[in-house]
């Protein structure tokens, strides 16, 4: 069995109009929410084997907060530029390329791709993922290559505003 946590990047800043969308950093709320959500997952005794992130600044910065919380070496975060603005088809490709030695994976990315893939793999309807949302799935597969429609049992759906 494999376990996948889809994590939408934390809230980003629109303050600097000179920056491209890809280069936008986290804003104050994002810098508060990302460590909170990382700590929440850790409190549930979840331990990642691999962190995979979009190479955009806001997604990677979110992944860094999770890496710090889980004592995961930041230099081992795998970035994949395909995740930025990815369709669900591309995200499936990225997931299917994960080595089978990894059982629990955190994948950091963007909407609408993450919400779409959540609904493709889930056994039930998943609401659109707000910023810094984590949707977790126990996948009924032994290999990431076996990922298919509705192979995931929905086990977690957490987001910052759920915890005032």
Structure confidence by residue, pLDDT tens digits, 66-118 = 999 999 999 999 999 999 999 999 999 999 999 999 999 999 999 999 999 99
What average pLDDT is seen over the chain? Answer: 97
Point out which residues pair with 107 in neighbouring strands.
Answer: 6, 52
Average pLDDT of the residues in 135-150:
98
- Residue 80: its pLDDT value, please? 98
Report pLDDT for 58.
97
Edge to edge, what strands does the sheet with 104-109 contain?
Answer: 78-79, 50-53, 104-109, 2-8, 134-139, 152-158
Q: Could you give the 3-state DSSP secondary structure of residue 14?
A: coil
pLDDT of residue 164: 81
Q: What is the pLDDT of residues 39-68, one digit of tens each?
A: 999 999 999 999 999 999 999 999 999 999
| The pLDDT value given to residue 155 | 97
DSSP state of 76: G
% the chain with pLDDT above 90: 95
pTM for this entry: 0.96
Q: Which domains, and CATH codes, for the chain? A: 2-162 (3.40.50.1240)
Residue 154 pairs in a beta bridge with: 137
């Amino acid at each position: 069995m494999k376990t996948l946590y889809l994590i939408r990047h934390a809230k980003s800043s629109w303050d600097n109009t000179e920056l491209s969308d890809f280069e936008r950093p986290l804003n104050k709320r994002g810098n508060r929410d990302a460590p909170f959500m990382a700590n929440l997952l850790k409190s549930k005794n979840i331990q990642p084997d691999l962190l995979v992130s979009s190479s955009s600044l806001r997604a990677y910065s979110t992944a860094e907060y999770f890496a710090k919380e889980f004592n995961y070496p930041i230099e081992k975060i795998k970035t994949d530029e395909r995740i930025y603005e990815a369709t669900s088809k591309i995200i499936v490709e990225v997931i299917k390329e994960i080595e089978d030695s990894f059982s629990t994976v955190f994948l950091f990315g963007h909407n609408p791709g993450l919400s779409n893939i959540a609904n493709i793999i889930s056994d039930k309807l998943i609401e659109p993922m707000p910023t810094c949302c984590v949707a977790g799935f126990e996948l009924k597969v032994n290999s990431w290559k076996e990922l298919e429609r509705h192979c995931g049992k929905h086990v977690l759906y957490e987001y910052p505003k759920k915890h005032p």
